[in-house]
Structure formats: C-alpha cells, structure tokens
Chains A and B, each alone.
Chain A
Amino acid sequence: MAEKKDTQVKKVAMICAKGTIEDVYATLVMANGAVMEGMEAKVFFTFFGLDAITKKYMNKLHTGTVGNPAMRMPGGLPFPTILGAIPGVEAGVSAMMRSQMEKLDIPPVDEFLDMITAGGGEIYACKLAVDMFKLKKEDLSDHVIDIITIGDFYAMAGGEGSQVIFT
C-alpha cells in the first residue's frame, strides 16, 4: 500500500466575491488565521466583495434578511422573510451581528485588514469589478496593494502547498 503523505498548506490565495457580513468575515477570518499560523495569504476582492475594501462601505456591511432560511429570531424561532423586507430591519439585524462579533473580539473590517496586513497578508482588488463599479484607487482601503486582473492573481497563487479558496 502506498504510504500516506500529507503536504502542509503553506499559502492560501483567497477570492471574495460577495459583500455580506458573513461572506466577508469568512474570508477575513480565514486569511487572518493563515497569517497567524505562519502561512502566506493573498486575498483578491471582486464584485460585491469590493465593499469590504471600499472605505465608504467597509464598516457598514449588511447581512441579507430576505431569503435567508438560516436567519432566526433571538431565541431560535424562524425569521419570516416578510419581516426582513421592512425598511430598517436589515440595518438593525446587521448592527446586532456586528456587535455580537465585537464581543468575541472580532474586529471591524478596517481593523481586520490592519491585522492581516500586519502579519504579512496581501490585499488586492479586481480590475474588472473596480472598472464596473467606477471606483478609483483612492476609494479603496490603503491596504490594497494593487488593482489587478484575475490572471495576475493566479500568477502569484502558485507554489508547493498553495491553495486557492473561493468564498
């Protein structure tokens, strides 16, 4: 029988394409977790994921209260979609989620980017999406190293023990 041989993950290249709290934080926690473990991490933000690195929106991300079957009331009762459609509900629920995370010592997005880059993680923005949303470099967080194509990103994603993760 062949001997089982595990290769350690040494590098993660992550692509974040969505802008809800949960999608963005999944990316940030995984990227930060990687640098904490001494791994290399590079993150590429594209489409709605760009909100996470856009100065104006990064600390005001929302979660979807409509069409989310896992959304529950405090206490566990289902959260009716029709409630989620009422103006202000999405903002309230999102603010509550952000405060719950703060209690677990999970920082706001701008501070999370500070942490990831302090550990050597690298942040990139997708050129196609930046053009599409008519954004400029100065609209984006100062931690964004460059606005690049997906081809450029793949070019730096290689190497032994590297993984590409899409969130």
Chain B
Amino acid sequence: MAQKTVAGVNLEVTDDGYLADPSQWTEEIAKEIAKEENIELNDKHFEVITFIRENADSGLTIRKVGKSGIVDIKGFYDLFPGGPLKMSTKIAGIQKPTSCV
C-alpha cells in the first residue's frame, strides 16, 4: 500500500493504483485518476462509473457492462481505451476486478 494525494485528498492506494477504500471516492478523484490514464471524463463515462460502483460486489465482467443498457462492449472499449474493465474500475475507485472475462 502507498499513500497518494489525489485532488487534494490523501488516499491509500494499492500498488496498481486502486483506491484501498472505495468510500473515499469522489468525482474529483475520478477525474484526476482518469487524467493520469489520458481520459477526459464526460457524462457517458460517469454513467458507466455509476453502474460499476453500484455493481462492484457482483463480480463485474465486460459482458455485464455490455448488458447494462448504458454502453455496448464496443462503446465500453471506446470510452476506456486499452483495458476498459481495468481502467474504469480504477477510476470508479473500487477494487481491481478478478474476472477473466
């Protein structure tokens, strides 16, 4: 675990950069983490992030996000290029997903 200051808040993060405590998450923090991944968050991103935060404990998969009615899988890849599930969960401030699909 490491300490990191994001959006003026001192946070504990894992070695991969995931928040240790999801309850510390704010939209400002999301924007900062996204910036590090070269993503400028828009409303669509936040819709997906909200879905991800609400379903954080249900074993998230790309397939589930694709069936959320918010984006299809192609759209999910377009929003978070280069690893949508990995990146969106990091930005959403939840644990790194352990799913293979």
Residues of A whose CB lies within 8 Å of any CB of B are 29, 32-33, 35-38, 104-107, 111, 114-115, 118-120
- Do the beta carbons of A120 and B86 come within 8 Å of each other? no
Least CB distance from A11 to B in Å reads 13
* Cβ distance B64 to chain A, nearest Cβ, rounded Å: 7
Residue from A36, A37, A38, A118 within 8 A of B72 (CB atoms): A118
Q: Which of A33, A114, A118 contacts B77 (CB 8 A)?
A: A118
Is B61 located at the chain interface by the 8 A CB criterion? yes
- Shortest CB-to-CB span from B17 to chain A, Å, is 15
**Given A33-B100, A105-B101, A120-B77, are A115 and B83 also a contact pair (CB < 8 Å)?**
no
How distant is B31 from chain A, measured CB to nearest CB, in Å?
21
Known: A32-B101, A37-B83, A107-B101. 12 other contacts (CB 8 A): A29-B100, A29-B101, A36-B83, A36-B84, A37-B86, A38-B83, A104-B101, A105-B63, A115-B62, A115-B63, A115-B66, A119-B84
A115–B100 alpha-carbon span in the complex (Å):
13
Residues of B within 8 A of A (CB): 59, 61-64, 66, 72-74, 76-77, 81-86, 99-101
Residues of B within 8 A of A36 (CB): 62, 83-86
CB <8 Å contact, B83 and A105: no
The 10 closest A-B pairs by CB, nearest first: A38-B82, A118-B73, A118-B74, A38-B83, A105-B61, A119-B77, A115-B73, A37-B83, A105-B63, A106-B101
A13 to chain B, nearest CB (A): 19
Contact between A105 and B77, CB atoms less than 8 A apart: no
Beyond A115-B73, A118-B77, whether A105 also contacts B64 by CB under 8 A is yes
* Most interface-central of B59, B81, B100 (chain A CB within 10 A): B100
| Chain B residue with the shortest CB-CB distance to A28 | B101
